[in-house]
């Protein structure tokens, strides 16, 4: 790869990574405008949560669609469509109508699925396998930065006087601009890899090949089991846990919970880089899993007088970054021409697992017994304990994973 082609490939990947940042910011932005949305849509907090949650009903199944269509039609054709869907969905969400808001959030999720999978597709097509894990980890860093921006930047904007609907109009226009930029700037692909013929049959056959590979299923479950502790314990219930079970004030609890995605921003590219340098995937997954098990156990049962604060959340996020390594493994365990489908499958399995288990933990944790911190701590410890079993299961499943790193090809 000459320097000009290399720069074009890096530019294409960065552009899609920015799109991933954008869609992740919109994914988390409603959390800082819940009172405004409740009033605008004329529903209670549960109703707003249901509308906002439509994002995930689009994101999960369209992970499969995105992967298969990218393999069939190429990034230049499909990724701009995804960004346009996100922009259109944001514009629909800005209208004070429940039905349009539901459709808008669904479109945001459906279009958003093309971001991470599009970036992984470009990495597979344009970069050597020796840097794949590093670049996929860096892509996830963009996503987590977007998730943080959706809270820490959008929140002050709303407090500063920008109305909630005006924000979504601006966001929608930005999405359409990103779509146009992707359409113009993404490089053309080899006709052999981007030819669209034969209807939908080849798409289903591509997904079928990936799903029939047991290594693909292992990658999806390992990734999901390592991702769930940060989403459920850290990002969803972390603030309440710290307030009710550890006696932290709200502002301090918010800052502490925010250290987990910060750890992800560090851990995803770092662990990917270590994996590429070693030329092996399994040792990094095992190391991250063991570290995550230790940190979650400490968060639940450790003595906070000995080790507490920001370092705990950051280390937990760094360790959970190992959840992105299976995104590289699944591509290496399947034929190269199915790289998009493989990423779609692992994303689908990962996210579906999180989506299914989220309400289960919600039901377990919703009713805190009284205001006694000791009782609350015991309640949360019992509620979160299955997370530890899941991490142990991920550890066990990793031993059945075949090593796909570059070092194995040299022996």
CATH number of the domain at 111, please: 1.20.1250.20
Looking at the structure, tell me whether residues 264 and 394 fall in a common domain: yes
Looking at the structure, tell me whether residues 226 and 156 fall in a common domain: no
Looking at the structure, tell me whether residues 318 and 400 fall in a common domain: yes
Q: Which long-range contacts (CB under 8 A, 24 or more apart) does 367-372 make?
A: 368/244
Looking at the structure, tell me whether residues 167 and 203 fall in a common domain: no
Looking at the structure, tell me whether residues 54 and 182 fall in a common domain: yes
- Select from 143, 167, 196 the last residue of a domain: 196
Q: Which long-range contacts (CB under 8 A, 24 or more apart) does 63-66 make?
A: 63/113, 63/117, 63/344, 63/345, 63/347, 63/348, 63/351, 64/207, 64/341, 64/344, 64/345, 64/348, 65/110, 65/113, 65/344, 66/113, 66/114, 66/117, 66/118, 66/340, 66/344
CA dihedral 196, 200, 206, 207 (to 10 degrees): 140
Looking at the structure, tell me whether residues 190 and 258 fall in a common domain: no
Looking at the structure, tell me whether residues 62 and 204 fall in a common domain: no
> Per-residue pLDDT for the chain (411 aa), expressed as one digit of tens each?
567 667 888 999 999 999 999 999 998 888 778 788 888 898 886 788 788 888 888 998 999 999 999 988 999 999 999 999 999 999 999 998 999 999 999 999 999 999 999 999 999 888 888 888 899 999 989 988 888 887 778 878 888 888 999 999 999 999 999 999 999 999 887 644 444 455 567 778 888 999 999 999 999 999 999 988 887 887 777 777 888 888 888 777 777 777 888 888 899 999 999 999 999 999 999 999 999 999 999 988 888 777 777 888 899 999 999 999 999 999 999 998 888 899 999 999 988 887 788 778 777 777 767 677 788 888 888 888 999 999 999 999 999 999 998 888 765
Looking at the structure, tell me whether residues 169 and 45 fall in a common domain: yes
Tokens of 160: 């500063």
pTM, to two decimals: 0.84
Looking at the structure, tell me whether residues 176 and 228 fall in a common domain: no
- Select from 170, 196, 222 the last residue of a domain: 196
Centre a 10 Å sphere on the Cβ of residue 105 and count the other Cβ atoms it contains.
Answer: 27
Domain tally for the chain? 2
Half-sphere exposure of 39 (CA within 13 A, CB side): 6
- Select from 165, 196, 227 the last residue of a domain: 196
Parent domain of 112: 1-196
Looking at the structure, tell me whether residues 272 and 167 fall in a common domain: no
């Amino acid at each position: 790869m000459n320097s000009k082609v290399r720069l074009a490939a890096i530019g294409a990947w960065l552009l899609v990574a920015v799109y991933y940042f954008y869609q992740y910011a919109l994914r988390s932005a409603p959390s800082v405008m819940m009172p405004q949305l409740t009033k605008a849509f004329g529903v209670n907090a549960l109703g707003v949560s249901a509308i906002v949650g439509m994002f995930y009903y689009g994101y999960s199944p369209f992970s499969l669609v995105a992967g298969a269509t990218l393999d069939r039609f190429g990034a230049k054709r499909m990724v701009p469509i995804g960004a346009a869907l996100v922009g259109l969905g944001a514009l629909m969400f800005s209208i004070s109508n429940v039905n349009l808001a539901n459709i808008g959030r669904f479109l945001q999720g459906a279009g958003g699925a093309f971001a991470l999978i599009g970036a992984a597709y470009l990495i597979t097509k344009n970069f050597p396998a020796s840097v794949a894990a590093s670049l996929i980890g860096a892509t996830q860093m963009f996503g987590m930065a977007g998730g943080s921006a959706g809270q820490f930047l959008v929140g002050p904007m709303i407090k500063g006087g920008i109305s909630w609907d005006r924000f979504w109009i601006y966001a929608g226009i930005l999405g359409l601009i990103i779509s146009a930029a992707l359409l113009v700037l993404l490089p053309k692909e080899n006709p052999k890899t981007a030819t669209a013929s034969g209807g939908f049959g080849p798409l289903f056959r591509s997904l079928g090949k990936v799903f029939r590979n047991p290594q693909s299923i292992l990658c999806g479950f390992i990734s999901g089991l390592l991702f769930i502790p940060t989403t459920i314990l850290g990002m969803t219930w972390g603030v309440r846990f710290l307030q009710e079970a550890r006696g932290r004030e709200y502002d301090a609890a918010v800052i502490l919970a925010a250290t987990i995605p910060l750890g992800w921003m560090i851990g995803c590219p770092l662990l990917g880089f270590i994996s590429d340098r070693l030329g092996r995937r399994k040792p990094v997954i095992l190391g991250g899993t063991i570290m995550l098990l230790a940190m979650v156990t400490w968060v639940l049962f450790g003595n906070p007088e000995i080790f507490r604060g920001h370092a705990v959340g950051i280390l937990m996020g760094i360790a959970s970054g190992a959840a992105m390594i299976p995104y590289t493994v699944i591509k290496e365990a399947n034929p190269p021409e199915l790289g998009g489908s493989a990423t779609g499958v692992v994303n689908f399995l990962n996210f579906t697992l999180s989506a299914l288990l989220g309400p289960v933990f919600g039901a377990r944790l919703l009713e805190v017994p009284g205001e006694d911190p000791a009782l609350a701590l015991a309640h949360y410890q019992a509620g979160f304990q299955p997370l530890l079993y899941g991490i142990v299961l991920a550890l066990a499943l990793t031993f059945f994973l075949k090593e796909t790193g570059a070092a194995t090809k040299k022996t």
